[in-house]
Amino acid sequence: MSASPRLVEVRQKVLKRNDLLARELRQRFQAAGVYVVSLVSSPGSGKTALLEKTLSLVRPNARVAALVGDLATDNDAVRLRRSMALVRQITTGTVCHLDAEMVEKALADWNLADLDLLFIENVGNLVCPSSYDLGENLRAVLMSVTEGEDKPLKYPTIFNTADLAIITKADLAQAVEFDWDAARQNINAVRPGMEVIALSSKTGEGMDRWTEWLLDAARRPFRCK
């Protein structure tokens, strides 16, 4: 009987299972020709409002669907269904983020080939979703002008893992004396070179650029992470 411990080298990613599943999902999306965009932000930044507006704006030009994650209620799905797009709620219970398995289950009976664009609205949380790859092609992080310009500095990881930053509620910028330059600088400091789109889902300001950008991205060849 040996009592001395021995060290065994292992190289194992902790989220290996999620990463593998996300890779499989990405391959399925690619094969079906559907472009997948996930939205992350803190609660109340306007993910659902942006999605509501986006779904109705792009529906004439693209076949769109959305998965929406929340801890509880299907309020968001009910709101989004008004756009007539295919919508499914993922209720996570106490889990603070979506993972690849939840996405896979939620998509089970959907024919992905019938879609051009799929949105995944994550649970409102700027911390936990950053670690979980969902197989998306693009991760957009939202921050609203009412949250303050330093949001990226407080939550650098989620901004760092995103591909696009969207500043929402632009119509309120003046009222809260939002400093656009500081916000852009902060985003650039935590994720150098990331594109920033400013918009208001309420007034429609900036929505053109966002929807053009989306439709253009959906037409481009797939980028594999």
Partner 1 sequence: MHELSIALSIIEGVEEEIARRPGARVTAVHLNVGPLSGVVKDALLFSYGLACEGTSLEGSRLKIEEIPIVLYCPVCRQERSAHSMQRLCCTVCDTPSAEIRRGSELEVSALELSSVGADL
Query: Does position 105 bind partner 1 by CB under 8 A?
Result: no
> Contact 112/78 with Cβ under 8 angstroms?
no
Which range of residues in 55-63, 172-180, 191-199, 208-216 is near partner 1 by CB under 8 A? 191-199
Distance in Å from the first CA to the final CA of the chain: 48
Q: Which of 97, 139, 151, 169 binds partner 1 (CB under 8 A)?
A: 97
Query: Does position 194 bind partner 1 by CB under 8 A?
Result: yes
| Total of chain residues touching partner 1, rule CB under 8 A | 39
Query: What residues contact 28, with CB distance under 8 A and at least 6 apart?
Result: 112, 135
Please give the distance of CA 127 from its chain centroid, rounded to a whole number.
Answer: 13
> Contact 149/181 with Cβ under 8 angstroms?
no
Query: Does position 16 bind partner 1 by CB under 8 A?
Result: yes
Closest CB to partner 1 among residues 36, 126: 126
Q: How far apart are CA 67 and CA 13, in angstroms?
A: 27
Binding mask 200-219 for partner 1 (x = CB under 8 A): --------------------
Q: How far apart are CA 68 and CA 88, in angstroms?
A: 6
Residue ranges in 128-167 that form contacts with partner 1 under rule CB under 8 A: 128, 130-131, 153, 156-158, 160-161
R_g of the chain computed on alpha carbons:
19
Closest CB to partner 1 among residues 29, 132: 132
Closest CB to partner 1 among residues 53, 191: 191
Task: Give all strands of the β-sheet with 35-40 in edge-to-edge order.
Answer: 86-91, 64-70, 117-121, 35-40, 138-144, 164-168, 195-198
Q: How far apart are CA 225 and CA 213, in angstroms?
A: 19
Query: Does position 188 bind partner 1 by CB under 8 A?
Result: yes
Which range of residues in 55-63, 124-132, 135-143, 205-213 is near partner 1 by CB under 8 A? 124-132
User: CA dist 60 to 55, 83, 84, 95, Å?
Assistant: 9, 11, 11, 35
Query: Does position 7 bind partner 1 by CB under 8 A?
Result: yes
Query: Does position 108 bind partner 1 by CB under 8 A?
Result: no
Which range of residues in 4-12, 70-78, 100-108, 109-117 is near partner 1 by CB under 8 A? 4-12
Binding site for partner 1 (CB under 8 A): 1-18, 95-97, 99, 127-128, 130-131, 153, 156-158, 160-161, 188-194
